[in-house]
Amino acid sequence: MKKITVLALTLALGSFALFRILDAQDAKININGPGGQPALAVIDFRGSGAAQAQMSAFNGTLFTDLQTSGIFKMVPKSLYPLQNPQRPEDLRPASGQGMALADWAGSPVNASHLAYGYTADQNGTLVLYGYLNVTNAPGSQPLLFKRYFGSLDEGGARKVAHEFAADIIAQFGGASLAGTKIYFVSSRTGAKEIWSMDYDGSNQKQLTFNRSINIEPAVSPDGTRVAYVSFAKGTPRIMVMDSSSGRTLQFYNQQASLNSSPSFSQDGGKIYYSSSVSGTAQIYVADLDGRNFRRISNSRAVEVEPKINPKSPGTMAFSSGRSGPEQIYQGNTDGGDVQQLTDGTGEASNPSWNPDGVHLLYAWTRGYAQGAFNIFLMDTASRHYDQLTSGAGRNENPSWAPDGRHLCFMSTRTGSAQIWTMLADGTQLKRLTTTGQNLSPAWGKGN
């Protein structure tokens, strides 16, 4: 967030808004952890035999996974010593040319940790030997030593790189995004269809082919099911598919002009959604096949987008117009103890729970760019918030990654609606889609 003087804030937003925005710092998620960012050096691995041909793919994947985790300060490779160890036996007690840990701990590298190793072709299998050392502890055993196995091709090289990166990230309390999926809506074929892609934008695949309007994808906690809304049969209906095969699964829709905004319970056994069967769209819950449905909300206003708290399954966030313009509310899944989370100004929608069950993402038309939707982060315990996007088109549909450190969202900052990712502090912006209009991302586990 750009620093703005107190005077400018006061003139632009008024004293009340000034207090709220300055106080919002408490809402930020500390993506670096209590110990700050470790300074990580990662050598370019070499391979023996046929494995060497795959090292470009391996080294690029490993470095990118670690860099985009947001956990590490990646030491530029231009600062590395001339020689790089490949195994612990290469390390020497005395400093000199990069074969001692002290060479990596001292200037100009100043790394706190060193990742190194090598690959080999063993009977047609790519084998990775990966190590992680603390640089300021000469003679100590590696923090991590493990062998990884993959096919002797680019896919196998990327696989073992993902696995090694995931183990390094886990050493610092993080979780790798490798294997996670983002489901989204794309118009690139001429109709709004549901698509999926890997966390980094690769492997984009079309999942629906009905050439109608398909919107609002949601992924089950275990990644095995995707629910969405389809107009293929006329009125909007909830559909559920098997995420691996694409096979449509049974879901009973109430006879209504609108069945929309599905989401899954934390145990994956229920689907929450909104239906206009009673006249005005209200929140319901049903079994995975749509049976045994039960109405939750009872309001004269439209109530949509129910999202279950991952740490408190009896609590949900949702969007409602019960106080006028759409706002974010929180309540029990039995319909009781409803509390307004956003302050009633502007319009707020698209709630998304962090895995910690405390922080909530949403889109709001207030803040630094009033009138345009931007992404906000709220600490629901204190109601403090932080603005993550500003001055760059329309930004909506935020969705947390499973690691609780990254998020994806739709933005028109380049002129058309596209899917972007960033860290929870608003840094490391990355565009994932380029073709057609792309929106409504939902990030979940892969299957």
Residue 34: pLDDT band (50, 70, 90) is low
39-171 has the same fold as 6-32+177-444: no
Q: Return all residues near 262 (Cβ < 8 A) that are at least 6 apart.
A: 216, 218, 227, 228, 229, 238, 240, 271, 272, 273
Q: Examine residue 108 and say whether the peptide bond preceding it is cis (omega within 30 degrees of 0).
A: yes
Q: Return all residues near 244 (Cβ < 8 A) that are at least 6 apart.
A: 224, 447
- Please compute the mean of the pLDDT values over residues 31-56 and round it to a whole number: 89
**Comparison of pLDDT for 317 and 13, the residue scoring more:** 317
Extents of the domains making up the chain: 6-32+177-444, 39-171
pLDDT given for residue 435 in this prediction: 97
pLDDT tens sequence across 339-351: 999 999 999 999 9
Tokens 């900052």 belong to which residue?
A: 413
Dist CA 122 CA 128 (whole Å)? 10
CATH class of domain segment(s) 39-171: alpha beta
Does residue 300 have a pLDDT over 90?
yes
Does residue 153 have a pLDDT over 70?
yes
In 221-269 the beta strands, taken as DSSP E runs, fall at 225-230, 237-242, 248-249, 259-264
| Angle (nearest 5°) at CA 439 between 241 and 213 | 55
Give pTM, 2 decimals. 0.89
Annotation: CATH topology of 6-32+177-444: Neuraminidase (2.120.10)
pLDDT tens sequence across 77-133: 999 999 999 999 999 887 777 899 999 999 999 999 999 999 999 999 999 999 999
CA neighbor of 104 nearest in space, from 80, 78, 130: 80
Q: Return all residues near 85 (Cβ < 8 A) that are at least 6 apart.
A: 43, 91, 98, 99, 114, 116
pLDDT given for residue 4 in this prediction: 33
Residue 29: pLDDT band (50, 70, 90) is confident
Percent of the chain with pLDDT over 70: 93
pLDDT given for residue 446 in this prediction: 87
- Please compute the mean of the pLDDT values over residues 17-26 and round it to a whole number: 42
